[in-house]
Structure 1
Amino acid sequence: MSTRNTINTAIAGLALTLSVSMALAGCGGSTGGTRQGDASSTGSASQQPVVVNNVEPAVGLVPSNTDDTAGWKVVTQLFEGLVTFGKDGKLVNAGAQSITSNADASQYTITLKPGLTFSNGERITAETYAKSWSFAANAANGMMGASIFSTIAGYDALQNEKGDPKAQLSGLHAVDDNTLKVDINGHDSSFNYKVGDVAFLPMPSSAFADIKAFGEHPVGNGPYKLTSWTHDREIRLTPSKTYKGPRKPANSGLTFKLYTNVDSAYSDLEGGNLDVLDAIPNSALTTFRSDKDVTPYVKPGPAFKSFTIPQNLKHFSGEEGRLRREAISLSIDRKDITTKVLHGTAKMATDFTAPTIAGYSTKLVGADVIGYNPKKARELWKKADAIAPFDGQFRLAYSADSGFKPWVEAIVNSIKNSLSIDAAPYALPTQKEFSGAVHNRTINAAFVQGLQSDYPHPEGYLVQAYDSSAADGKGLNNGDYRSAEFDSLIDKAAAQPSLSDSISTYQQAEETLLRDLPVIPLWYANVAAGSTKNVKVDFNYMGLPEYEKITK
Structure 2
Amino acid sequence: MKIKRIGVAAIALAAAGALTLTGCTSGSPSSSGAAGDSSAIITTNGSEPQNPLIPTNTNEVGGGKILDAIFAGLVYYDAKGAVHNDVAESIESDDAQNYTIKIKPDLKFTNGDPVNAESFVKAWNYGAALDNAQLSSYFFGDIEGFSLDENRPELSGLKVVDDLTFTVALVQPESDFPLSLGYSAFYPLPESAWEDLDAFGENPVGNGPYMLDGEGAWKHNEEISLVTNPDYDGPRKAQNGGLDIIFYASQDASYADLQGGNVDVVDQIPEAALASYADEFPDRSVNQAAAIFQSFTIPARLPHFSGEEGQLRRAAISMAINREEITDVIFEGTRTPAHDFTSPVIDGYSEDVPGSEVLEFNPEKAKELWAQADAIAPWSGTFQIAYNADGGHQGWVDAVSNQLKNNLGIDASGNPYPTFAEARTEITNRTIQTAFRSGWQADYPALFNFLGPLYGTGAGSNDGDYSNPEVDALLKEGRAETDIDAANEKFQQVQEILFKDLPAVPLWYSNVNGAWNDTVDNVEFGWNSVPLYYQITKAAE
Aligned to 1:284: 273
For residues 66-116 of structure 1, the C-alpha deviation after alignment (integer angstroms, 9 at most, x for no partner) is 11101011011110100001111111011111112232x221111111112
Mapped to 1, the partners of 2:284 and 2:161 lie a distance apart of 51
- SS for the counterpart of 2:390 is coil
- SS for the counterpart of 1:279 is coil
Aligned to 2:504: 519
Cα distance, 1:527 vs structure 2: 1.1
- Name the % identity: 42
Mapped to 2, the partners of 1:65 and 1:292 lie a distance apart of 37
Q: Which letter maps to 2:163?
A: D
Aligned to 1:332: 321
Aligned to 1:173: 159
Cα distance, 1:33 vs structure 2: 7.4
Q: Does the CA contact (< 8 Å) of 1:82 and 1:94 recur in 2?
A: yes
Please show how residues 428-467 of structure 1 align to structure 2 within 5 Å: 428-467=417-456
Aligned to 2:390: 401
Q: Which letter maps to 1:65?
A: N
Cα distance, 1:299 vs structure 2: 0.9
Q: Does the CA contact (< 8 Å) of 1:96 and 1:112 recur in 2?
A: yes
Mapped to 2, the partners of 1:33 and 1:75 lie a distance apart of 23
Matched, 1:498 2:491: no
Aligned to 1:51: 43
For residues 134-190 of structure 1, the C-alpha deviation after alignment (integer angstroms, 9 at most, x for no partner) is 10111211211111110001111x654xx47xx111110111112111111223221
2:110 counterpart (107, 110, 119): 119
Mapped to 2, the partners of 1:505 and 1:292 lie a distance apart of 44
Give 5+ residue unaligned stretches, structure 1.
1-31
For residues 181-201 of structure 1, the C-alpha deviation after alignment (integer angstroms, 9 at most, x for no partner) is 111122322110111111001
Q: Which letter maps to 1:503?
A: N
Aligned to 1:223: 209
- SS for the counterpart of 2:520 is coil
Q: Does the CA contact (< 8 Å) of 1:293 and 1:532 recur in 2?
A: no
Q: Does the CA contact (< 8 Å) of 1:34 and 1:247 recur in 2?
A: no
Q: CA RMSD in A?
A: 1.7
Cα distance, 1:47 vs structure 2: 3.1
1:67 counterpart (59, 69, 84): 59
Mapped to 2, the partners of 1:200 and 1:192 lie a distance apart of 11
Distance of aligned partners of 1:377 and 1:38 in 2 relative to their CA distance in 1, 3 Å threshold: closer
For residues 418-468 of structure 1, the C-alpha deviation after alignment (integer angstroms, 9 at most, x for no partner) is 100011100011111001011001111111112021111111111111111
Mapped to 1, the partners of 2:134 and 2:425 lie a distance apart of 14
Aligned to 2:226: 237
Q: Which letter maps to 1:123?
A: P
TM-score, normalized by length of structure 2?
0.91
Mapped to 2, the partners of 1:207 and 1:378 lie a distance apart of 56
Higher deviation after alignment, 53-62 or 263-272: 53-62
- SS for the counterpart of 1:361 is coil
Q: Does the CA contact (< 8 Å) of 1:377 and 1:418 recur in 2?
A: yes
Aligned length: 508
Cα distance, 1:498 vs structure 2: 2.6
Q: Does the CA contact (< 8 Å) of 2:319 and 2:358 recur in 1?
A: yes
Mapped to 2, the partners of 1:206 and 1:453 lie a distance apart of 30
Cα distance, 1:225 vs structure 2: 0.6
For residues 228-257 of structure 1, the C-alpha deviation after alignment (integer angstroms, 9 at most, x for no partner) is 111111110000011121100011110001
Mapped to 2, the partners of 1:238 and 1:315 lie a distance apart of 51
- SS for the counterpart of 2:537 is coil
Aligned to 1:11: none
Mapped to 2, the partners of 1:195 and 1:206 lie a distance apart of 23
Cα distance, 1:502 vs structure 2: 1.2
Mapped to 1, the partners of 2:192 and 2:133 lie a distance apart of 17
Mapped to 2, the partners of 1:352 and 1:405 lie a distance apart of 22
Matched, 1:212 2:198: yes
Cα distance, 1:292 vs structure 2: 5.3
Aligned to 2:464: 479
Mapped to 1, the partners of 2:507 and 2:473 lie a distance apart of 26
Give 5+ residue unaligned stretches, structure 2.
1-24
2:248 counterpart (237, 253, 259): 259
